Amino acid sequence: MQQHTLRITAQDQPTVLERLLQVTRYRGFIVTGMTMFGRVDESVLDIELTVQSEKSIDHLHNQLNKLIDVDGISVKKSDALQCPT
């Protein structure tokens, strides 16, 4: 099981989080952490999504990248698997 953090820039739409989470779940990834900030005076959201799966992160990266409201994604492999407490 690998853990990755996706840094996502997305349009500030009320629906965008739901879309990201739906695709993440359907494509076989578990969300283990999430933060979201709106940029001041910009209709852009910065979202960090930490996910776990046995599947390739490229698979999720490509699928999330297809979402119309997503502007960009970068992926960082997490060094150690954090144990949920």
Write out the H or E segment, with its range, that includes residue 28: none
CB atoms within 10 A of CB 76: 13
When the beta carbons of 12 and 18 are compared against another protein, the nearer one is 18
- Determine if 18 is a binding residue for another protein (CB under 8 A): yes
When the beta carbons of 15 and 85 are compared against another protein, the nearer one is 15
Candidates 1-9, 42-50, 57-65, 73-81: pick the segment binding another protein (CB under 8 A).
57-65
- Determine if 71 is a binding residue for another protein (CB under 8 A): yes
CB atoms within 10 A of CB 64: 22
End-to-end CA separation in angstroms for the chain? 17
